[in-house]
Each structure stands twice: as C-alpha cells, then as structure tokens.
Chain A
C-alpha cells in the first residue's frame, strides 16, 4: 500500500485497523521471539540436564577403572605356607597368606611396633589380597620358597586417599586414614611402590562387601541371562501376536479386548509386574526366588506390549500389494505372511524388540520384588541360580556407606549406559540400513 498512515487517520477520523496493526506490531514481534526463546530454552534445559547427568556420572566414575596397588616383596616362606612340609595342594590352599603379607609389611615398616600401629599398617592392604597370593601359589607351586615382588590391591580407604577423595587437612579422628598411615603412604609413593593400575577386578569379580574387590561380572552375567531369556520368550510371542492381530484376526469384540489389554499393559507401572511375578510365579507356581528365570518371565510380560505395538506398526507399513501378489501366485495366507510380509517387516520388528530389551535391561523395580537383590558373590551359570542384574547392583552399591562405592556405582552406571547406547545404536542402524519406504 502506498498511502501513508497519516492519510488514513485523517480520512477515517479514528484509528484504522492498519494503525492498530502497526502500533502493536513491535509488541507482537517481541512476543513472537519470546515465545520462540521459551521453546529453545526448554529444549536446552532438557538437553543440558542430559549433559550434566552424563558429565556428573563420568566425572565420578572414571576413577573406578583404576585401582591403587601396592608393591610388596613377598617371601613365600615354606615355614609359613606348609609348616608340616606335606607338599600337597590342600595344605597350600589353606595356608596363612595373610601372614605373608603381614611379614612383608613389617619388613617395609619396622617402626610399627605397637598394636595400634600394626593394625593400621595391616589395613593398608586389601583383605582380599591374601586370595590373590593363594591363587598365585596354586597356579605356580615353584613360587614356594622364593621372594617375589607382587602388586596387591590396597584397601578402599587408601585407594580413596590416593584418588584425592580423603582430605588430609581434616582432624585425624574424622579421617578414614590416620597420620601414621599417611606417613607410610607418602613414603611408598616416594619409592614408587604404590600406583594406580587398571582395575581388572571390577570386570572379573562378583559382588563383595569390600569396594576394592567388588566387580560387576556377576551382575553383567545375570543381566545377560535375564535379557537372553526375555528376548527368546518375548520376541516370538510378540511377533506371533502382532501377526495374528494384524493379518489374521477377525474384527470382533475378542480382538478388541486383546488390543485394549495390550495398550493398557504398555502403561502399567513396572512395579505392578513385580507384584504379579511375586504372587504368581514365586508363590503360586513355586519357581525359585532371585533367579533369572523368574526375571525373564516378568520382563517378558512387561516388554511384550512394546514389541507387539512396534511389530504391528512394522507389519502395517508393508504395502498390501505384496500380499495380493503372493496370494495371486497361489500362496496360502500363512505362506504369504511367512515368506513375504514377515521378512519385509523384520527390521522394524527387531528394532522394536531391541528397544524393548533396552527397557528391560534398565529395569530395576520389578526385579527387586522377585528377590533379585540378594547379595550374591558367585557368578551365576544357569537360569535357575540366584543372580542379580546390573541395575539392581547399582541400586545395592548406591546404598552402601563406603565412599569407594560411589565411584564404583558411577562406573557400573557407565557400563550400563554403554550397553544401552550400543543397543539403541544397533536399533538405529537396523532402521537406517534395512527399513524400506514404500
């Protein structure tokens, strides 16, 4: 429009619509950009939290992949190991390896003579170090009688001290490491006899009350059993259900009821599935508590709706022309589905299954209900042995009072997140690589 606003005002004698628009325009534009800003801000808040969470966990947990080790000169004295000189394995496996460590420590620090000092000295080394020595000797009997330099894990307090989590300036009484111990440690550090090495126990050991000996192997294996079982139960059942509902089922009240049920089950809190598992599988069917098999059954029921819904969506996306062509060639309905529709829908179904599995991998609450929280040192080797899973292990460690468990919990979380990222990455890859658009 070429006419100026002033002209309008003069002609109309009052404010025209155009003027009103012009007048409020600045405000409206500001409002627009404010609105946009809120949107961006909330996305930033969400993603920022994600970053803070990851950074926080990584910052707390990365140090757990290293464990402080102390170098001791151990004399595998036959007089201590095998005083009766029997020479057999049994005597060696029952021998007093703690005694060897104590002797070695005494030798390094002869000034510790009082009982309190000795106690402080002995507590530098982990209580599990003697088992390491035993394994060394049992694997290699020729060690007996020799003097060897061995790296042994320190106790968790010393580990925390060297990782900078113990404040040296605090009063001695409130510190987990006393002044004498500090002196010894400083000397060991100066002699390069104490250093942080890769914490292999974290990946190879089961749970333990001692942080320096605790590992996630048992929990990872338990998770593996549970997940594998869940997958082999829920994927076939889920696919069969989806195929039936999508390809064969008549539309009637019964199939409607099934559909309503599936949709509702997808939103039932997971803890309710735990109650179901406890009342049904453990109390009614008498399946053993704390075992992966019950975990599998509960998680199967929990993930089924996810898999069914994803599988149905995937089946729906296969165009009807494929079915018609197959039927036209004389294939039976089942052959049509098995030979033509299912292979085309498989990537989508697998993606759904993997997402369901990653939910199952992170699930904790229902497994608490069925007793998979027991303190289990042994690494499970079958579906019917008591086991725990990675998220439950995280929960258990998070409850432990020792400072060293904080970093181990974070490290276990990192491992769990890595598994989840791998699984979701696989799902994305499958979708990108094999999904066809029609």
Chain B
C-alpha cells in the first residue's frame, strides 16, 4: 500500500491505542479514577505514543533510503553498456524509467530496456512498500500491546507523556539552528567546489561577468568569466536608489505617525502603509517592468536622455516604495519608545514640535533608526523578483541609473533556473553568490538587531 494510506492506518491505530489505553487504565482500578496515578487520558496518550512513534521513525528512515536503494538495484540490472555511462547520463536513464513508472511517458514510446527496468522498478517498489507496511503495522500493534501491559495503578503515565512532549519541543526548537547550519553548509560546500575551479580573488575582484561556459570543447569565446564586481556594483546601485526613495519617505511618515498624527489617523494609516510590504514582490516586478520602466523611458526621452528599457532606476524606485514600511514601522516604534519626559522637557523650554523632533527625539532615537535602515538595506540587497523582472541581465559595470544592471540575486536566479548539470562552474557560481549574499545580509542583520536591542534596553 502507498505510504499515505499507511500513514492514515498508523494514525487510526494510534487513535485505537488511545482508546485502549484509557479503557485499560479504568479497568485496572475498576473505574475509580482517584486510585490512578495519572488521569485516564494520559494512559491513552501513553499507549498511542508507543503505537505511533517507533512506527513513524521506521517509516521515515525506510522511505529516506528507499529511493536510492531502488535506483541502485535497478541500475545494477541494466545492461552492461548502460551501466558504464557517465553519472549524469545514467541519471537521465533513471529519470526515463521513473517517467514510465509514473505514466508521464507513454509505454509505447520507450524502448524495451527502459520498459523492463520500469517493470522491475515497480515490482521492487511494491515489495518495499508492502514490507514497510508489514513492519510498521506490526510495530504499532506491538507498541500498543507492550504499553498496555505496563499500565497499572501506580504507573506514571503523565510523567512519561510529558517527558516525550518535552523532548519533542526541544527538537522543534533546534530546527532553527539546523536551518542556519543547513544554509551555511549548502552554500559553503558548493562555493568551495566553485573556488577550486575559479580562484576566489578572480571572483571577488574580477571586472568581467559572463558565466556562459563552453558546451563543446571547440567552441569559441565562452570560457566563462566569473568576476563578480559588476554584480556587486549593480546591487549597490539599485540599493542606493531604493534607499534614496525609502529613507526620506519612510522616516517622514514615521515622524508624522508617531508625533503629529491623531490616534485615529495613525490607526488607519499605519496598517495601510504596511500593505506596501505585504504585496508580493512579483506584483511589484510586473508593475516596474510594464508600467514604471516605460514611463521612465518616455520621460527620459522627453528630456533627451537615453534610458534603456530595463533600467536600474525603475527597479530601484519601485523597490524603494516597497521598502518604505520597513523603515517607517520600525522607526515609528523606536520614536514611540522615546520617553515622554524628553518631549515634555523640550516643550517646557519653548521648542516647537518640529524642533523637539529634530533636536531631541531624532537624536535620541537615532541608533534605532539606523538599525531600521540597515534592516531595510539588507532587505533591499536580498530582494529578487523586482530585479529579475525589471533590472535586466546585462552585467554592466556602471553607475548610470538609466542603464540596465544586474544584481547578485538576479544572477543566482538566472544561473539556477532551468535544467543544467549541477557540477558546472556556472551553477556552482550561484552558490558562491549566495554565500556572499548570506554573509553580507547576516552582518547587516546582526549589527542592526544589536543596535535596535541595545537601544531598546536603554529606555526600558
């Protein structure tokens, strides 16, 4: 049976275990609940945990090794000539077999060897699934039997259940750590492989980016250049444009909302501004590419400027608008946290509201505001879809906002989208770019969070 049906059966068994355990605990004390150490439901949970956890562990382990075992045993029975194929082609053959199995390729289209292999694959898969069902259901029933044997009136079912719950919560909370480790490892290992073929200095300081590698050895002019400086300057240019838009607008909005606005206006305007951050970036990308970019080009032509159809300006402007709430929300919070006594003091000296803000509140809130701006910068650097759709692919080393530029994130997307072999420097370069992106945003985030937190403590 298929794993999903098996899962449903296991869940049903564990529900059954719950009922059995509960009933058994009541039977043991002949219905006098107060004689039991724990509430009857805990005995139920106890048995149901015993019925499902070992079975689930076996199931997960089984399924995680199943596919590679299936692939290996199918490949082992392929004709000799096919087995000698290089790894990437063998992978394609395997894919063909899987396609036949899944019915995506019509069985009449494939050749006989593949069909035979597919049949074998199907047979083995069925065998494996049946075996798995047998083992897990046996484990589940065994768990119910074993645990219900242990139920007596002094059995500390609650303590056992709570211990399991506690362990589960600890496991859940470590996922965050494993995610970080996973990110670091996945980008780091591929980057190291990349730096074996392209020296790290060439990557960081090279001025030429054209990642097309030769498909054939006799091809001309596509040896691939992996100098990432044009990408860095492109990212920088777009980020600067975005911040030129976002910082003044965001800050002034925050000041108005926190100092001038009535509670009612604030209650309406703040969520409305935050909608800007909630709109999917792909929507901004579409808007930037189809509306803003042509508008800028036409305006530019009117003033006699040549603006390319995909310009850094269009992408940067739209991204700046998107980032406004990142600046305004956090700055607003920070300025709200400035103690009222500072304001009162300034008013008592005769300062106007604007003067109070400029000379008292703003300096007091400055670290937090800087933190919020840094977070916005890190957000801008990591932004992808707007740039993919509106900033272009040409790796120009330029600071002219009217020209098309490309950024780190755009190149990651273009290098990795679509099917290509995974070992070429071209795809590995994406991971090296990802590493740079991760490190830069991590530094910005840590720094910004540190500033914001330190500042908050100051006034608490």
Contacts and interface: CB of A to CB of B under 8 A. Distances in A.
Contacts of B1: none
Interface in B213-232: none
Given A46-B253, A261-B179, A35 B357 contact: yes
A38 B431 CA distance: 43
Contacts of A236: 172
B173 A245 contact: yes
A272 to B, nearest CB: 5
Interface string B168-183: 1110111111011011
A238 to B, nearest CB: 8
B176 A258 contact: yes
Given A39-B260, A240-B168, A53 B287 contact: yes
Nearest to A244: B169
A36 B385 contact: no
Interface string B159-203: 000100110111011111101101100110110000000000000
Contacts of A39: 252-253, 255-257, 260
Nearest to B375: A267
B134 interface: no
Residue of A43, A50, A255 with highest tally of chain B CB at under 10 A: A43
B173 A258 contact: yes
Given A39-B256, A265-B179, A279 B190 contact: yes
B186 A279 contact: yes
Contacts of A369: 412-413, 416-417
Contact of B280 (A28, A241, A391): A391
Interface in B380-413: 381-385, 388-389, 409, 412-413
B441 A269 contact: yes
A365 B385 contact: yes
A224 interface: no
B281 A264 contact: no
B269 A43 contact: yes
Interface stretch (A66-74, A149-157, A409-417): A409-417
Interface stretch (A114-122, A124-132, A176-184, A301-309): A301-309
Contacts of A57: 283, 286-287
A262 B175 CA distance: 9
Contact of B169 (A45, A241, A359, A392): A241
B278 interface: yes
Residue of B177, B250, B282, B382 with highest tally of chain A CB at under 10 A: B282
A209 B445 CA distance: 42
A305 B176 contact: yes
Given A47-B273, A267-B379, A267-B441, A272 B187 contact: yes
A395 interface: yes
A223 B361 CA distance: 45
A264 B186 contact: no
Contacts of B82: none
A276 B184 CA distance: 9
A367 B430 CA distance: 15
The interface size bin for chain A is: 35 or more
Contacts of A214: none
Interface in A207-260: 236-237, 240-241, 243-245, 248-249, 255, 257-258
A189 interface: no
Interface string B418-451: 0000100000001100100110011001100100
B384 A47 contact: no
A111 interface: no
Given A28-B352, A286-B67, A416-B280, A241 B260 contact: no
B64 A285 contact: yes
A135 interface: no
Contacts of A248: 166, 169
Nearest to B71: A286
A413 B382 contact: no
Given A56-B287, A261-B176, A364 B281 contact: yes
Nearest to B252: A42
B137 interface: no
B280 A49 contact: no
Contacts of A326: none
A42 B441 CA distance: 27
A205 B409 CA distance: 32
A365 B172 contact: no
Contacts of A53: 279, 283-284, 287
B384 A241 contact: no
Interface in B286-328: 286-287, 289-291, 321, 324-325, 328
Contacts of B341: none
Contacts of A249: 173
Contact of A395 (B251, B253, B285, B412): B285
Interface in A248-301: 248-249, 255, 257-258, 261-265, 267-273, 275-276, 278-280, 283-286, 301
The 8 closest A-B pairs by CB, nearest first: A269-B382, A39-B256, A362-B280, A279-B186, A244-B169, A365-B384, A35-B354, A240-B172
30 contacts: A28-B352, A29-B352, A38-B252, A46-B276, A46-B328, A49-B276, A50-B272, A53-B287, A57-B286, A240-B168, A248-B169, A258-B177, A261-B179, A267-B445, A267-B449, A268-B183, A269-B409, A271-B409, A272-B382, A275-B186, A275-B416, A279-B186, A279-B189, A334-B165, A363-B280, A364-B281, A364-B282, A394-B286, A398-B289, A416-B283
Interface of A: 21, 28-29, 31-32, 34-36, 38-43, 45-47, 49-50, 53, 56-57, 60, 236-237, 240-241, 243-245, 248-249, 255, 257-258, 261-265, 267-273, 275-276, 278-280, 283-286, 301, 304-305, 308, 332-334, 358-359, 361-365, 368-369, 371, 373, 391-392, 394-395, 398-399, 406, 409-410, 413, 416-417, 420, 424
